[in-house]
Chain A
Amino acid sequence: MRPFTYERPRTAAEAAASAAREPRARFIAGGTNLLDLMKIEVETPAHLVDVNGLGLDRIEPAEDGGLRIGALVRNADLAADETVRRDYEVLARALLAGASAQIRNRATTAGNLLQRTRCPYFYDTNQPCNKRAPGSGCSAIGGVSRQLAVIGSSDACIATHPSDMAVAMRLLDATIETVRPDATRRVIPIADFYRLPGDTPHIETQLAAGEMITAVTLPKPVGGRHFYRKVRDRASFAFALVSVGVVLQDDGSGRVALGGVAPQPWRSVEAERHLPSGAARVTEALLAGARPTPDNGFKLTLAQRALGAVLTEART
């Protein structure tokens, strides 16, 4: 691990200002992803801003009947929250499908949104990777790509976003509250939060330098029946090959988002209109324009079948 300096700011605005002053600064919260990457020197921050002491760990009612989740609420606590379990079950289910209990006890809401890809070439500092070393090339294209993206990818990067939680947040139309280094605040809808890789796969979100997430807010509950189905290589503690979050209403309408297929949670309101016609029509629309590799074309079939299994379960 490379040396770094460390501080514990007193307020979120102070944290943002500190992070902006030092160009190679990183916020550290749970640390479950960042420290892992620092050990293998994929991440080499010169300065760590420890935000664990800032509060931001409450789950509270939001003004419009929604729920405001502090950036530092731990994944385990969010999944166990009574309101989340009752009104936003897909979020609890997605959280519980991710990582291990030890990691969920440390990992935070904001950190989960910002976690980095598990593309093996991003982790291997001996290999070119445009996300880790911009301009160096993509080893995954033409390499071992079974886990990687089938849609939303580019000629520069085919990494997936690894989060389960973010799929549910996208499905529920969460908004992300931030504070910037000048202490001003803004709200970013999750639909706009992630950037597709294009030619700049190292830039993953809309966050500016030093900008810090302070909370994630869910709109008022949408009702319906909630499902999160995750398909992976082992029954627990593994990243998704494909996951599908679904909210289904009694009239057959609903929402669908996919994980494990793209650089961000993958959802399209257009595709959801096909829900009454069955899974095949939905995934066909949702994955139109997919560019799978020879290794991961199975994800297109798997996504359809995972959604089909949810729709079958919903009928019983």
Chain B
Amino acid sequence: MSAGILIAGGGLAGQRCCETLRARGYDGPLRMVCAEAHPPYDRPPLSKELLAGKLEREALTLRPPRWHEDNGVELLLGRVAARLDAAARALVLEDGERLAYDQLLIATGSAPRRLPAADGFENAYTLRTATDSERLRAELRPGGRLVVVGAGFIGLEVAATARALGVEVTVVEAAAAPLEAVLGADLGRWFAELHSDQGVDMRLATGLEELRGNGRVEEVVLTGGERVPCDALLAGIGVRPATAWLEGSGLPADGVPVDAGGRTAVPGVFAAGDAALPFDARLGSHVRSEHWEAAVRGGQAAARAMLGLEPGRALPPSFWSDQYGLRIQHLGRSAGADAVTLDGDPAARDFAAVWQRDGRPVAALLVGRPHALPEMRKRLVGDEGST
């Protein structure tokens, strides 16, 4: 009997891969190794609706409860990939079980970077799972004090959600502006003002000197010596691919390069989502894309490739963020851009910024313009070397 297709990872990329496989007529064995004890669920609400208490965990599942059973997908819940034996086409789990496969999807996602200084403090959090979100939620009370380390999208979304709950929020960021690496200093400052206007204390170009407290962080000492009182701390300082288990497999353990069909360098092994490094035709290199849409498209593309179908057309990477009820969307990659043009009114929170290289658009930021995305995507697609 065929060993079938095995998905290492229980997130969005793996789920969408299973769906496309079944929709496209694959009727062989299909198993999914999920590290968490829950069927695949949606993560964007973890920093928003779930954290705010507007949704409960059960509402986040990507499919109704019986979907996997009805579609012949065996979920191995609470099981963790530990090693890949590519020569024998087997995945070894932490509990020692060996699972044979004909084709494997690496979709183990990413893990938050740790803030070493926060180790051992019980009110210091990172945010990746529904459990992380629920534990942080329990710390957020009106008048309580949250310190967010890192002004990336996760940190800023948590800051916005916490403010809406009446929490006093301080954001500590080493760079001179939030999101500076993606958006540049000017637009980064716009984000800083968006949050300052809502009462967030933005501490930019500032580092952490020390975390003080007995078991819990009670006080954060900033570079320069200022002390900020703290009831809970969230570290949002980026993620790294959760692929250390590939050590010794012949594939890189820090993110797996893939082609447009999710194929890795090892026959029969594919990767998608945060664990994968898709090829960016314009930049001519493999680049991480740690976003929801990349997981959807990567999972679907890998399923097609597994079945011998042509990959779909490549699209510029895109993601969205919701902060204070404002829809923020980003398309493409601004690396190598030589100009930025602005259309609209940043003060009114209604504008589009377009990054260009040699006069052609390569990336865009849309604020308060959700319906402008398709047109903007069309403008960018011609410049992404896509067919």
Partners in one complex: no
Chain A: residues with CB nearer than 8 A to chain B?
Answer: none
Chain B: residues with CB nearer than 8 A to chain A?
Answer: none
